[in-house]
Amino acid sequence: MKKMIARKPTFTQAYIGFGSNLGNSIETLVQARKHLEETKGVSSLRSSGLYKTKPISSYPQDDYYNAVVECSVEMNALDFYKHLQRIEKLLGKVDKPKEMPRVLDLDILLFGEQVHESKELTIPHPRMLNRAFVLVPLLDLIPTGTVAFPTREGESMIQLRDQIKEVQKDSNQQVERVTGSIWDRQV
């Protein structure tokens, strides 16, 4: 008889950037997190606080609501990315140029220590270190303030507080904590 070898599930710790500035943004972000939480192969969700931020775009549009969610993922990066795209579509995201307002944006910021450079997926997210609306919520989830940032050349340790100071030299990169919303009440 053939021997069955039980394959150990491999879990990857992922950080997802959440953003919305169209429609009922806070409700959409809460719904997106709920879908993520109910996904098979996704567990141990932790949420940052919710932040209101100025859009980085030349096209005039409303402020964004942003947050970061940490979770444990039992899927490969590409399948996980496709799943996030399904959640975006389900909640009403339509394909538009990057600069335009959006109902929902779910970006994979970090996926364990993995580095991906394909047409559809770049991990770590190439702009995450330049965006206060990613770094500030990330600091909520990583109280040590130090995050391992993998690259093809090796890993560097990012001091989030220093990096935030650096990017906030640009006055457009202010982020405002939003308290008391359903984002904080429903986890």
Binding site for Mg ion (CB under 5 A): 105, 107
Would you give the binding string for ligand ADP spanning residues 27-66, x where CB under 6 A is met?
A: ----------------------------------------
Task: Give the number of residues in contact with ligand ADP, rule: CB under 6 A.
Answer: 10
**Phi-psi bin for 44: left (phi > 0), alpha (psi -120 to 50), beta?**
left
110 binds, among ligand ADP, Mg ion, none (CB under 5 to 8 A by kind): none
Q: Which of residues 76-95 bind ligand ADP (CB under 6 A)?
A: 81
152 binds, among Mg ion, ligand ADP, none (CB under 5 to 8 A by kind): none
Q: Are 107 and 5 in contact (CB under 8 A)?
A: no
Q: Angle at Cα 86 formed by Cα 97 and Cα 113, nearest 5°?
A: 85
Contacts of 38 (CB under 8 A, 6+ apart): none
For residue 121, the minimal CB distance to Mg ion (Å) is: 11
Is 125 a binding residue for ligand ADP by CB under 6 A? The answer is yes
C-alpha to C-alpha distance for 150 and 166, rounded to whole angstroms: 20
